[in-house]
Structure 1
Amino acid sequence: MSDPVLSSTALGLGLVGMLVSLGLLIWFAYRGWSVLLLAPIAAMLAALVSGEPVLAHWTQTFMSSAARFLAQFFPLFLLGALFGKLMEDSGSVNAIAQFMTDKLGPRRAILAVVIGGAVVTYGGVSLFVAFFVLAPMAQALFRAANIPRRLMPAAIALGTSTFTMSALPGTPAIQNAIPMPFFGTTPFAAPGLGVIASVVMIGFGLWWLSRQEGAARRAGEGFGDGFGEAPDALASARESSLVRERATVSQSFDPAEIERGHVSERLPPIGIAIAPLVVVVCANFAMNIFVFRHYDASYLAEARWGGTTLSAVSGVWSVSVALALAVVVLISLNGSRLGTLKESVDAGANASVLPILSVGSLVGYGAVIAALPAFELVRAWVLGIGGGPLVSLAVAANLLAALTGSASGGLTIALDALGGTYLQLAAQHHIDPALLHRVAVMSSGTLDSLPHNGAVVTLLSVCGTTHKQSYGDMLMVGVVGALVALAVVIVLGSFAGSF
């Protein structure tokens, strides 16, 4: 018979080991050390302190979980990065930015930047490709309108990193794909709630930025006040190793590949520029709403296909098909503008590798932590949070995204450890899995935008500003607004269900 005192001591020691390993992972990662090496070292440290077999966790737990993540989501990372790079090199993203600039102009500079960012990211363009194109657009508009430069990062973040990443139904963002295998949902989960959340985020963000712009004008603050010229901000961001290490953990494009290939100086007409984005949205919708509803996928139950179901893979399939079709359309419409097609394709493909390996490494770390006996204490605490499954799921995803600095990594760790439990709780409480999906995705996109997040670091770098100058406004539009929208979705979902 085991000694309860010894068991409690072992659990306590294991919990300390988990916290120390997490602290070391965060401390070194934020200082630019590669998470590819840090994550397994931290995981093995936690296993060692817990008295667990270290080598077994290294090969059977860590690597198996990381490999499963790669197997599930590599198509999305690969096609997403390729599509983003081709959109950039064809001049399509620049054409869309120029169109927004011409139509809305300096009088609506903030709105132009927000809409431009929303259009390209909801259409499937990688976040970091969008950053490098939108920053010059924002700079030109803000200078012409004499709006403080310090507001540029917040405006870009509102359009690229909030509602189009986590709330708008059908968004091809990787975060929106992660819950699908766990809950059997689609990218269009809880569309009504997603639209409402998007309206809340947009409304709150534009209100805050308008308020800040008005305050600056009353104070006589102009575009360049407090700033020296930083013409090499984009080049500095491309060359920064710290930006690269943090960026590849938080998103799906390696900034080192931005400068490879050649961006066309001859911009396509706006119709051609936006056509591939429309293909992504429409094909994604058609695959989920029409094609898969009449598709006989009973063969997936066979062992040769992993004994799975259509609901477990249809979400990834639909986004993959949508991005692949968009790539074909993009190349067909812009063949003459893609003078270095091979280099652009190579750069896009290469840009997907380090991000998915980095996030997969974080997922492997989370799998080891979740397999340790002491994790039962964490599980009990999370599930014991008042407010029901939706609230506890939101807290778990928020905390893990904040700690890892990665929405995709934090969300995968949370669902790997607790996804099955939440699905059972949802059945007990008559909660639609689609509601779990939307709450989980939105939760991963809130506290992940803390100062150490790779997207935050990159955006500040490409805009030539600092945390001190710009992060307060980014916090309001990227975190506070997102939390308000999340609270609205949880309240509405609790009373009205998923819609």
Structure 2
Amino acid sequence: MIGMLGVLLALGLLIFLAYRGVSVLLLGPAMALVAALFAVGTPLLATYTQVFMSSAGNFIVQFFPLFLLGAIFGKLMDDSGAAEAIAQGIVGKLGQERAILAVVLACAVLTYGGVSLFVVAFAVYPIAAALFRQAEIPKRLIPATIALGAFTFTMTALPGTPAIQNAIPMPFFGTTPFAAPVLGIITALVMFGLGQWWLSRQAAQARLAGEGYGEHEDAQPAFDKDQREHSSGEGFDVLMVAPEAPPRALPSFTVAISPVVLVIVLNYAFSTMIIPAMDTAYLAEARYGATTVDSVRGVWAIICSLTIACLLLLVMTWSRLAAPKRSLDDGANASVLPIFNTASLVGFGAVIAALPAFDLIQGFVESIGGGNPLVSLAVAVNVLAGVTGSASGGMSIALQTLGADYLAMAEVAGIAPDLLHRVTTVATGGLDSLPHNGAVVTLLAICGLTHREAYKDIFMVAVLFPIISLVLLVVLGSLFGAF
């Protein structure tokens, strides 16, 4: 019982202090040691060096290329004007009368192509502000509109997205980014449909009430050190991805969207055709980790697709980059803090899993859902994403502590690993977007609005509707399996 008290105290302090802006890099090891202190006989130094650091280091080894390439790709898309060109192109096609749909789709295309949600928010906000002002739609709906396109279905549900939420489950379950594709598409359509309905309904009610856009300044804010620390856990270092001076001329829509399309196409080709056709027998050797291609092909596919897309982007937009070296450097630097923050949470989860009290937690979590591992997995990931304020952090803790157990339970129940993968990714979206989430805080700061003004609509499109979609996914997966 004393050990369980330590775990609950450590988790409570982690949530409280993270919300107060204390760095997760400090909180992860500190709170892990707090939990270990309550486990009588647990050696603290060995827990730190052999459990915490080992797990955190393994996470960095596995996923650093994805954080690095994703940050560089997003920075190049931003500094070259490609992100803005895509947003303007979609908005121009749909027009003022479909302002909400235009902004949602612009965000969705960019995030599905691998652009950081922070880059998307910076790029799309000025366009959304001008469009909403012209259409007399309340500014308070802009954060929720961006959140629907950038925080929800493209990050978790759509198959093939190179988002880290879609990548982390792959080594645990031996899956690819295209796991359970049809179920993912159905879930994405439900999220999109419900969110679009809600925002359109809110805009119509505001129009009837004569609310209009409101009296607002639309200039983007500067970010101070505290905002940077609070927002960096879920995406990238916000000071590094904030846009530079606008390029001299925007690229054409075709040029701008080509790297985005290439990421998706190559991701599919590498994960389903090229890598499986390669002779990878050497992976069984000890020097290569004594593993199998199924454990690495998903990560390899994203690495290859993002690398080629970055090279194409450099070639096509070199003349539009004011300082190519600086863009590459800033993108690379922007990837460091987020992966270390997430790795710190992974290390915390590993320590918790190594404590005797974890047997009680494991038994409780696995009992949720009456023996259905999909229900238990969905609840565990969603709750952990909520309490940590991080989709990737919550998922990492859940998989680090219980991933092997869920895989074993699924095998007994005849559930495909692909279905576990898709339930895990969709479950990261929902409670992760509670008010203390770094991406929510940053988005509101970019838009110059407060939680009181805009969070209600963010909650509907980024918390409630993704949870409803998750329930549908679990029900369909339980009835029909992965497809």
2:218–2:447 CA contact under 8 A, matched in 1? no
Aligned counterparts, 1:241-280, within 5 A? 241-251=225-235, 253-259=236-242, 262-280=245-263
Give me the TM-score of the superposition, normalised by structure 2: 0.98
Matched, 1:306 2:289: yes
Matched, 1:82 2:91: no
Q: Which one of 470, 473, 477 corresponds to residue 454 of structure 2?
A: 470
SS in 1 for 2:192: helix
2:122–2:242 CA contact under 8 A, matched in 1? no
Q: Which one of 440, 454, 460 corresponds to residue 456 of structure 1?
A: 440
The amino acid across from 1:101 in the alignment is V
Measure, in 1, the Cα distance between the counterparts of 2:243 and 2:454. Answer: 29
Measure, in 2, the Cα distance between the counterparts of 1:277 and 1:322. Answer: 10
Distance 1:459-1:261 versus aligned 2 partners, 3 A rule: closer
1:260–1:347 CA contact under 8 A, matched in 2? no
| Structure 1, 256-265 or 111-120: larger mean CA deviation | 256-265
2:126–2:218 CA contact under 8 A, matched in 1? no
Measure, in 1, the Cα distance between the counterparts of 2:263 and 2:245. Answer: 23
Structure 2, gaps ≥5 residues long: none
2:157–2:185 CA contact under 8 A, matched in 1? yes
1:345 aligned residue: 328
Measure, in 2, the Cα distance between the counterparts of 1:308 and 1:299. Answer: 9
Aligned counterparts, 1:173-192, within 5 A? 173-192=163-182
Q: Deviations over 1:70-104 (max 9, x none)?
A: 00000000000000000000000011111122111
Q: Which one of 205, 216, 229 corresponds to residue 216 of structure 2?
A: 229
1:136 aligned residue: 126
Q: CA deviation at 1:35?
A: 1.0
2:156 aligned residue: 166
2:314 aligned residue: 331
The amino acid across from 1:190 in the alignment is A
2:79–2:243 CA contact under 8 A, matched in 1? no
Give me the TM-score of the superposition, normalised by structure 1: 0.95
1:35 aligned residue: 24
SS in 2 for 1:249: coil
2:233–2:438 CA contact under 8 A, matched in 1? yes
2:411 aligned residue: 427
Q: CA deviation at 1:260?
A: 7.0
Residues paired across the two proteins, number: 481
Distance 1:86-1:345 versus aligned 2 partners, 3 A rule: same
The amino acid across from 1:93 in the alignment is A
2:34 aligned residue: 45
Measure, in 1, the Cα distance between the counterparts of 2:392 and 2:296. Answer: 18
Matched, 1:411 2:395: yes
2:278 aligned residue: 295
1:261–1:340 CA contact under 8 A, matched in 2? no
Measure, in 1, the Cα distance between the counterparts of 2:476 and 2:243. Answer: 46
Task: Say what the alpha-carbon RMSD is for the aligned residues.
Answer: 1.1
Structure 1, gaps ≥5 residues long: 1-11
The amino acid across from 2:352 in the alignment is I
Measure, in 1, the Cα distance between the counterparts of 2:26 and 2:360. Answer: 27
Q: CA deviation at 1:299?
A: 0.4
Matched, 1:214 2:204: yes
1:260–1:344 CA contact under 8 A, matched in 2? no
SS in 2 for 1:133: helix
Measure, in 1, the Cα distance between the counterparts of 2:450 and 2:48. Answer: 39
Measure, in 2, the Cα distance between the counterparts of 1:23 and 1:470. Answer: 27
Measure, in 2, the Cα distance between the counterparts of 1:141 and 1:375. Answer: 52
The amino acid across from 1:377 in the alignment is L
The amino acid across from 1:450 in the alignment is L
Aligned counterparts, 1:51-130, within 5 A? 51=40, 52-130=42-120
Measure, in 2, the Cα distance between the counterparts of 1:495 and 1:405. Answer: 31
Measure, in 2, the Cα distance between the counterparts of 1:101 and 1:141. Answer: 8
> Once the two structures are aligned, what percentage of the paired residues are identical?
56
1:375 aligned residue: 358
SS in 1 for 2:374: helix
Measure, in 2, the Cα distance between the counterparts of 1:386 and 1:183. Answer: 21
Q: Deviations over 1:44-77 (max 9, x none)?
A: 1110121211111110111000000000000000
Q: Which one of 7, 11, 15 corresponds to residue 26 of structure 1?
A: 15
Matched, 1:193 2:179: no
Q: CA deviation at 1:261?
A: 5.1
1:441 aligned residue: 425
The amino acid across from 2:67 in the alignment is F
Q: CA deviation at 1:258?
A: 2.5
